[in-house]
Amino acid sequence: MGRWLPLALGALALGALLYLAPGPRPAPRARHLLLMFTRAAQSPALQARAQAALRSLLRRAQLPPRRALHLHFVSEPASRELMRDLLRPLLPGLPFPCQVTFHDVAALTEQLFPVVQAMQKHFSAGSGAYYSDSIFFLSVAMHRIMPADIAQLIQLDLDLKFQTNIEELFEEFDRFPRGAVIGIAREMQPVYRHTFWQFRRENPGTKVGEPPPDGLPGFNSGVMLLSLEAMRQSRLYNQLLEPDKVRQLAEKYHFQGHLGDQDFFTMIGMEHPELFHVLDCTWNRQLCSWWREHGYSDVFDRYFRCEGRVRIYHGNCNTPIPED
């Protein structure tokens, strides 16, 4: 996958980064997490969010015996150095082995562009298929990028705060129904009620854009469980990546979004919900309430409601996250 750049933090952190097995014992099986950390030098706020997210994740993480954590960061050189500094105080003393790998954002963009170019015009903020936008579709083609020996991976935003052990989230892979390739929570604002307005007008009574539990409110990509093995094997999923299929679905739903992979997964989820394992809202408890004040106050709470103990807070649209 692009350029693999192992992290070296010096002797103090070596035990937390590298598993040094005595004798012939096999290395532990890894739990893989991927996080985007780019253009961080220009954003002290991003650095602060990343530090808080990683601190909460690592503080609560407890892995079974013979398990390791493998953190993957997509970065450019300047952000890579900043992440090294952020990780330095967090990794020593972990009760499990942890490995860190950096993936070069430029190399990944080059790999992704041919795969996702056709969908960018429908799901990017710009009016064209900009080369640099490709990285926002990384999860869509992750099964074609990651090495074949990685069967499962969780991709996370950095505006998160963990309230529970990450191992419990990995256990959700075991709950995937047959045919599902991605685990993802519903969008908790009426974003797609708004985006699908024309389709909804032409199809009275549709569930598209309607709130849960019976509607199809779309997905939020802040927390995504990617069964890479299932994605590789799913003929249906790979057909949906083909340019003609993307165009046909975008035309059918009159879809024009700007949120990258989230929009793509939302659109194909309207057509093929069987490809998704819907995570409980407590695994991605989104806090943004922008749409409440922008035309949807009458229905907002039907989307925003989330009952149960929160496992992960998501401070999307720069919303403050509750303190412990």
* In the chain, where the domains are located: 4-13+27-318
- Rounded to the nearest 5 percent, the helix, strand and coil shares of the chain are 45, 20, 35
Say how many CA atoms lie within 13 Å of 77 toward its Cβ: 0
Chain centre distance of CA 322: 21
Residue 187 confidence (pLDDT): 98
Residue 12 confidence (pLDDT): 27
Q: At 202, which helix (H) or strand (E)? A: helix 197-202
Residue 257 confidence (pLDDT): 87
- Residue 127, burial from CB neighbour count under 10 angstroms (0-12, 13-18, 19+): exposed
Residue 98 confidence (pLDDT): 96
User: What is the tens place of the pLDDT at every residue in 246-289?
Assistant: 999 999 999 988 889 999 999 999 999 999 999 999 999 999 99
C-alpha 98/C-alpha 62 separation (Å) is: 12
Query: What are the residue ranges in the chain where pLDDT is below 50?
Result: 1-25, 127
Q: Tell me the one-letter amino acid at 204.
A: P
Per DSSP, the three-state class of 237 is: helix
C-alpha 257/C-alpha 252 separation (Å) is: 14
Report the side by side order of strands in the sheet with 285-286: 160-162, 312-314, 285-286
Residue 15 confidence (pLDDT): 33
From 3.40.640.10, 3.50.50.60, 1.10.1740.10, 3.90.550.10, which CATH number describes the 4-13+27-318 domain? Answer: 3.90.550.10
Chain centre distance of CA 153: 10
Per DSSP, the three-state class of 177 is: coil
C-alpha 111/C-alpha 99 separation (Å) is: 24
C-alpha 31/C-alpha 151 separation (Å) is: 10
Residue 201 confidence (pLDDT): 97
Q: Tell me the one-letter amino acid at 40.
A: A
Contact 173, 225 (CB under 8 A): yes
